Amino acid sequence: MKRNNPKHAHQGCIALFERLSEYIDRELDPPTCRDIEAHIESCKPCQVCLETLKQTVDLCRHLQRQQVPETFSLKLREVIFDLVEKKPG
Amino acid sequence: MPNPSDPPKNNDNDAELIRSINDGRQELFFELVRRYEKSLYNFGLRMCGNPSDAEDMVQDTFLNVFRYLKGFRYETKFKNWLYRVATSACLKKKRRSKFAPERELSLDEFLPADESAVSKEVPSWASQPLTQVLDEELGGIIRNALLELPEKYRLVIVLRDVEGFSTQEAAEILDLTPSNIKVRLHRARLFLREALRTYYET
Ligand SMILES: [Zn+2]
């Protein structure tokens, strides 16, 4: 980051940048959260940074799950059936 | 006072099922398969990137679970133990195929290079509701970006953000400290965010 961007070059932005994931995950103590919120309120680039990271996390959390292919599912049960048969309780 | 016949505190449905299996009702192992095959298969897809490796991984995992189930310690959550077994099945698989090169991701590489790279507005992909953004194509972009992550970062982000394990649980599954998990997770997320930015903004 260049120094001629006074708003975004200062140490506060970098310190915040390092903790954004913990902030999103609510893993920080309340005073730290308040500091971060106060900073974000007044710093547009950090706000953009937070919002894009939040959305990235949300997208991961909502990835579509695929069904297990039926042929595999049947094969798996056959393999396990053999095991169960071989090794009775 | 807890009733002595009450199941131990840490018990969940799985623990009960496993007790029955270990008491000789082995046919109940199919219930364990039914509960977890879909999540394990999807975990395999995210980690290995192709259906046939994912299938191998799921099968190896269940075989190992079957083999070692007697040694399961009930103070652990079964699902965490299961993913531990699955993770090592994944890592074995991976040594045999091609994967993203191992390298360290540093925070610096994600800092904006200069003033012109600093966005002043939240881009529309991040300000719109998720349901309007997440379509099949974007899903594919994310899946590919996950596969481009070096494995140690991919494991962490897949366990935390895709599978939904907590920091503490991911640390148990991977034998890492929680702070290690947090560091890797943050870098993995930043990597993914770059992939999304590139997709939308170039
Ligand atoms: Zn800032």
The model's pLDDT over B101-150, given as tens digits with 9 standing for 90+, comes to 788 898 888 887 666 667 788 999 999 999 899 999 999 999 999 999 99
User: Do B179 and B115 have their domain in common?
Assistant: yes
Query: Up-side HSE of residue B159: CA atoms within 13 Å toward CB?
Result: 31
Asked whether the predicted pLDDT for residue B2 surpasses 50, the reply is no
Model confidence, pTM: 0.89
Question: Which of B134, B24, B4, B55 lies closest to A63, judged by CA?
Answer: B134
Please, which pLDDT band fits residue B180 given cuts at 50, 70 and 90? very high
Q: So what's the pLDDT on residue B99?
A: 62
Please, which pLDDT band fits residue A7 given cuts at 50, 70 and 90? very low
Whether B179 and A28 have beta carbons less than 8 Å apart is answered as no
Fill in the DSSP letter of residue A65: P
Place of tokens 């915040």: A16
Say yes or no for a CB contact (<8 Å) between B189 and A57. yes
Say yes or no for a CB contact (<8 Å) between A89 and B167. no
- Report yes or no: B193 at the A interface, CB cutoff 8 Å: yes
Whether B189 and B178 have beta carbons less than 8 Å apart is answered as no
Q: So what's the pLDDT on residue B116?
A: 65
Q: Which residue has the higher pLDDT, B155 or A87?
A: B155
The domain containing residue B36 runs over which residues? 13-96
Q: So what's the pLDDT on residue A1?
A: 42
Q: So what's the pLDDT on residue A87?
A: 63
Token readout for A40 is: 């974000």
The alpha carbon of A88 and the centre of ligand 1 are apart by a number of angstroms equal to: 64
Q: Which of A9-13, B33-37, B67-71 has the lowest mean pLDDT?
A: A9-13
Whether B159 and B165 have beta carbons less than 8 Å apart is answered as yes
The alpha carbon of B183 and the centre of ligand 1 are apart by a number of angstroms equal to: 20
- CA gap A49, A67 in Å, rounded: 34
Q: How far is A54 from chain B (nearest CA, A)?
A: 8
Mean pLDDT in chain A? 87
Q: So what's the pLDDT on residue B176?
A: 97
Residue of B25, B58, B192 lying closest to A56 (CB–CB): B192
Q: How far is B193 from chain A (nearest CA, A)?
A: 6
User: Do B118 and B197 have their domain in common?
Assistant: yes
Domains held by chain B: number: 2
Q: How much of chain B exceeds pLDDT 90, in percent?
A: 73
Is residue B102 assigned to a domain? no
User: Do B143 and B191 have their domain in common?
Assistant: yes
Is residue B132 assigned to a domain? yes
User: Which residues have their alpha-adjacent CB atom under 5 A from ion ligand 1?
Assistant: A 13, 43, 46
Domains of chain A, residue spans = 8-84
Asked whether the predicted pLDDT for residue A30 surpasses 70, the reply is yes
Say yes or no for a CB contact (<8 Å) between B26 and A84. yes
User: Do B111 and B197 have their domain in common?
Assistant: yes
